[in-house]
Homo-oligomer: A and B are copies of this chain.
Amino acid sequence: MKASNKQIFQNFALSKGLKSTRQRDMILDCFLSCDQHLSTEELYLKLKESMPGIGFATVYRTLKLFAESGIAREIQFGDGQTRYEHLHAGEHHDHLVCTRCGAIMEFENETIEKLQAEVARNHGFTIINHKLELYGICAKCNS
């Protein structure tokens, strides 16, 4: 059985000697139950509803910890805000970004990944990770 992202983060916290705090737990729950691709500010505003006293520095710090623990990854779509997407061990996906309505869809394509590996090999390059984003108009906006 696979560890849930909640467990992964809790193990990470334990191994790092991080304390378990009310705000950290809330941020974790909120992040896990939220949509993909939330910006720090969006998550901060969402958290304020149930925790009016929370500071944005705490949200920034905690999201960085999520990234470090491996349950989230920072992404930037060029709108000037850093977003965090959920990561599930071993998975990788790419994005379709609608430039009209802002919708973000995910996709996976084995063949593209293989070709990327080949390109890298041809350049003597060791891939650590990659980013593939297709920008355009989504089906809904097209119709």
List the one stretch of A17-25, A53-61, A120-128 in contact with chain B.
Answer: A120-128
Dominant SS among interface residues on chain A: strand
Q: A34 within 8 Å of B by Cβ?
A: no
10 of the cross-chain contacts (CB-CB < 8 Å) are: A98-B125, A105-B125, A109-B119, A112-B115, A124-B138, A127-B136, A130-B132, A130-B135, A131-B133, A131-B135
Contact bitstring A57-87, B, C-beta under 8 A = 1, else 0: 0000000000000000010101000000000
For A105, list chain B residues within 8 Å (CB).
Answer: 123, 125
Number of interface residues of A (CB under 8 A): 33
Q: A134 within 8 Å of B by Cβ?
A: yes
Beta-carbon contact of A132 and B131 below 8 Å: yes
Q: A11 within 8 Å of B by Cβ?
A: no
Beta-carbon contact of A115 and B115 below 8 Å: yes
